[in-house]
Chain A
Amino acid sequence: MNILVCISKAPDTTSKIAFKDGNTKFDETGVQYIVNPYDEWYALVRALELKESNGGNVTIITVGTAADEAVIRKALAIGADDAVRIDVNPVDAFEVASQIASYAKENNYDLILTGKETIDFNGSQVGSMIAESLDLPYVALASKLDLNGQTLRLEQEISGGIQVLEVNYPAVVSCAKGMAEQRIPNMRGIMAARTKPLKVVPAYASETYTSFESFSLPEAKKAVKLIDPNNMDELVSLLHNEAKVI
């Protein structure tokens, strides 16, 4: 089974979020980039598990600049066989998706996996857009993915419950918590990653539909009001009369 895993970079979860140039750009000063956790922990690891039990190949793909190659090497160290970088600094999810879809059209994959969303833009758009561009079925936020012949058996968490789905592949799936356990790359993986193939593909023609004009930070909270642990009546009364939330 040939699997394509879409990887995005994302700022490390402890990064200070700040903006520059009149709040129009994310300030990358001091920001460390990581593989977007959903892409790494769930999509990539599940792809590797499927390869380990069924054979095949796991290719990772990212749409980005040469600066993203450190993140690509990290994903290779975890175990992907090879990598593709499409040389575009993307503006929106549609541009990312159309680049990946153009590449996938030229190279047949049985399964295309993405993470459920990136932790910076939280759009949850790329997988579904790839699926539409390739006219494939799409399942969002799967928390389990198993293979049964030509059929994928998937689980999704819905309103506190579980829904089990079946669909024949080829298909596109976005991966959420539950699907796999995080893998820490070992020394051998890190060494091997240095020589694994990384193909740089020139940009395909594509459009953009949306753009981020500016950003803002939430208003700073007022100082916390401390309440005596022996006076929960006061807390309840404040929640009712002051905050008006109960």
Chain B
Amino acid sequence: MSILVYISGEHAGAKASHEAVTYAKKLGSDVVVVASGNSSDLADLGTYGASKVLVDANVSDADSRQITALVAKAVEATGADTIIFSHDLISKAVAPRLSVRLKAGLVSGAVALPEGDKIKVNVFSGKAFGYVTVKTAKKIIALLPNSISPEATGSACPVENFDAGTGNAAVKVVDKKIPEGEVPLPEAEVVVSAGRGLKGPENWGMVEELAKLLGAATACSRPVADIGWRPHHEHVGQTGLAIRPNLYIAIGISGAIQHLAGVNGSKTIVVINTDPEAPFFKAADYGVVGDAFEVVPKLIEAVKKFKG
């Protein structure tokens, strides 16, 4: 089976991209990557199983029509019957378009390799799983980040220019601001999150310090983002981001059903809350009943000691 994986050059070095290529390698023998935008990280995708990378440096990541045309052309060139995306912002714009263009059923939010003809996906914002079948000859799978572990077993692969002739971008990027050194929340392995229990934005210093020590991303509950204590992109839950890190530490968050929906795919959950009746403890692996303002500084000291 020939498998094609779409990767944005800009994200070629990201763990989610390594996961997508690893997933493809487990599905079929020949894995080709098609990339928009060049990057020195592309050759390294061979390590995860790609036999080669086809790159069109003239395609903009912001223009879903250009990327769709590029991937469709690569499907034609390789004869691929399965196309893999990482379920991120770009793939949310491109994979459905491609599904219409190729008449290929799209399975988005996959969390595991197919079992027979069924593919397991996250539904109800993480409260349940669905098993989807595809009726069309070609299929597209968009894989949720942190669903499988990247496996680096091969070596670097060739990167070839692939001119898809997609014309000019209709969507133009006029500005881009990305803070340096932050761990992006969707693919973070460890997340430190806090809620209204922290009383005010001035108290987030300890949350950020703990996150930094653990190499973690920071997140928050919805009311905290709504009142403007934290930026919107940190809001996790049913109406925010759904995440599935290895470790989720919830500080001063009650654990409302809408919050749990976005985080209960986490492998291990630690809850710190003054209220022993807080619903979050029912969803937690480890719980600390105590005041965050006393517990978190102690946890920071303990992590420092552990890290030596």
Contacts and interface: CB of A to CB of B under 8 A. Distances in A.
Interface of A: 11, 13-14, 17, 19, 37-38, 92-94, 97, 119-129, 131-133, 135, 137-141, 143, 153, 156-168, 174, 177-178, 208-218, 221-222, 224-230, 232-233, 235-240, 243, 245-246
Interface of B: 62-65, 68, 87, 89, 92-101, 103-109, 118, 122-125, 127-136, 170-179, 182, 184-185, 189-190, 214, 225, 232-233, 235, 238-240, 242, 246-247, 257-258, 261, 264-265, 267-268, 270-271, 281-291, 294-295, 298-299, 301-303, 305-306
Contacts of B286: 224-227, 235, 238-239, 243
Main secondary structure of the interface of A (DSSP, over half): mixed
B64 A224 contact: no
A235 to B, nearest CB: 6
B182 A232 contact: no
Among A92, A124, A137, A224, find the residue whose CB has the most chain B CB atoms closer than 10 A: A224
12 contacts: A19-B128, A125-B106, A128-B96, A156-B89, A160-B182, A162-B175, A213-B132, A215-B131, A216-B129, A225-B285, A232-B301, A243-B285
A74 to B, nearest CB: 17
Contact of A119 (B93, B107, B133, B238): B238
A245 B99 contact: no
B134 A210 contact: yes
B281 A224 contact: yes
Counting chain A CB atoms within 10 Å of each CB, the highest count among B122, B125, B190, B247 belongs to: B125
A210 B306 contact: no
Nearest 4 A/B pairs, CB to CB: A229-B290, A161-B178, A209-B105, A128-B96
A14 B259 CA distance: 11
B184 A243 contact: no
Contacts, number: 265
A214 B288 CA distance: 37
Contact of A226 (B189, B247, B287): B287
A222 B184 contact: no
B99 A209 contact: yes
Contacts of A165: 62, 171-174
Nearest to B280: A224
Contacts of A14: 257-258
A163 B290 contact: no
Given A157-B232, A232-B288, A232-B299, 16 more contacts: A17-B127, A93-B96, A125-B95, A132-B96, A132-B97, A132-B100, A137-B65, A141-B89, A161-B176, A161-B178, A162-B176, A167-B170, A224-B287, A236-B302, A236-B303, A239-B286
A239 B173 contact: no
Nearest to B120: A216
B135 A210 contact: yes
Nearest to A24: B131
Given A161-B177, A213-B118, A177 B239 contact: yes
Contacts of B122: 122
A213 B287 CA distance: 37
Nearest to B302: A232
B284 A212 contact: no
A222 B284 CA distance: 8
Contacts of A162: 175-177
A164 to B, nearest CB: 4
Contacts of A230: 298
Contacts of A119: 124-125, 238-239, 261
Contacts of B177: 161-163
Contacts of B101: 132
Given A137-B63, A224-B287, A177 B123 contact: no
A123 B109 contact: yes
A163 B97 CA distance: 21
Contacts of B118: 213-214
Contacts of A120: 123-125
A246 B175 CA distance: 37
Nearest to A230: B298
Given A122-B122, A163-B175, A209-B106, A137 B64 contact: yes
A28 B196 CA distance: 33
Contacts of A140: 64, 89, 92-93
Given A160-B182, A210-B132, A229-B289, A236 B96 contact: no
Contacts of A124: 87, 92, 96, 108
B97 A211 contact: no
B173 A164 contact: yes
A166 B172 contact: yes
B269 to A, nearest CB: 8
Contacts of A135: 65
A135 B167 CA distance: 15
B99 A125 contact: yes
B93 A138 contact: yes
A157 B100 contact: no
Contacts of B283: 221
Contacts of A233: 302, 305-306
Contacts of B129: 215-218
Nearest to B305: A233
